[in-house]
Structure 1
Amino acid sequence: MKTLPTLFFVVLLLVACKGPKQDSPIDAAFSPDAEHLEEINTECFQYLGEKDTVRLTTHVDGTNITGTLDYTIFEKDKNSGTIKGEIRDDMIIAEYTFMSEGDSTRRQVVFKNTEEGWKEGYGEMKSVDGIPVQVNIDSLDYSHNIALTPFPCD
């Protein structure tokens, strides 16, 4: 009878000393290694006008980009949402998913890195699968004065 508690104690000791805990496959997939974290670059840009504000936060991983985009334009509904897309040359081409007047909406946005800062391009749009996209990205108009310049991220 005395051997039963001793045997239980030995089994408990062996289980407790089985070595370092290994991450589960799920933990490993959602815990990027240090090298990958260094590749992800976060930057913040904004335009501050007299009554208008536009803010863009980007997370760049190679040519992929994600982030947030917020428009507060005087006498217009505030738009706040996320972007997901890619960087091509000096342009950000992304799908912008945002809330406006309580509805979720999507549209394509294109920003070009100019001497003044990142400027959104405007042009003729068409609907593709219900999402407004630019007809010709190469002929967009960037002549407006809203240029997003770097500012410290919060």
Structure 2
Amino acid sequence: MKKISLIALLALAACQSNKTETTDSTTVVADTVAAATAQPASEALCFELKDGQDVTAVKLVINGDEVSGEMQWLPWEKDGAIGTLKGKVVDGEIVADYNYEIEGSSQSEEKIFKLDGDKLLIKDGELVEGKDGKLIMKNPAKAQFKETLLKVKCE
């Protein structure tokens, strides 16, 4: 009888011990999930490419997977394009709508960017007219990152 009582007491103690561990690990898991799903603060990043007197400048504000910002293409002594960016981070790339003014008219174009350390790469490929007149890449998988902008201090 003493053996059964001792075994029952040990089993009960083991159950109590497991219950504490489960509660502790559940708390750790809950804290980890909460931290992983918390939205990071918005981060502004600025990039620039100077080619002679031509300038391309991009400002991105990244908030989780949402991206907004501005892009300016300013060729020397020619009409440029100045507009806004709005998009998302998808598979490590930023896919954004670039809505801009060029030669007095409004245009919308798909832009694909990739952050690489202190560089912003811009994908270049053949464009076709998509829905609502927006220019989209005909084959984004075949397009290549051809422009490289360097990180600069945001003004």
Q: With structure 2 as the length reference, what TM-score do the two structures score?
A: 0.67
- Partner Cα distance (1:153, 1:114) in 2: 18
Letter matched to residue 51 of structure 1: Q
Letter matched to residue 149 of structure 1: L
Q: Deviations over 1:78-113 (max 9, x none)?
A: 100000001123322110000111111111111223
Contact 2:120 2:151 in 1 (8 A): no
Please give the secondary structure, in 2, of the residue aligned with 1:136.
coil
More strand by share: 2
Q: How many residues align?
A: 117
* Cα 1:119/1:76, change in 2 over 3 Å: farther
Pair 1:64-2:66 in alignment = yes
Matches within 5 A, 1:16-31: none
Matches within 5 A, 1:1-154: 39-74=41-76, 76-114=78-116, 117-129=119-131, 130-142=133-145, 144=146, 146-154=147-155
- Partner Cα distance (2:127, 2:80) in 1: 21
Corresponding residue number in structure 2 for 1:25: none
The CA RMSD measured in Å over matched residues stands at 2.1
Identity between Structure 1 and Structure 2 (%): 23
- Partner Cα distance (1:114, 1:151) in 2: 14
Contact 2:118 2:151 in 1 (8 A): no
Please give the secondary structure, in 2, of the residue aligned with 1:137.
coil
Measured after TM superposition, the shift of residue 116 of structure 1 is 7.7
- Partner Cα distance (1:116, 1:60) in 2: 15
Contact 1:93 1:108 in 2 (8 A): yes
Unaligned runs of 5+ in 2: 1-37
Unaligned runs of 5+ in 1: 1-34
Instruction: Pick the structure with greater CA Rg.
Output: 2
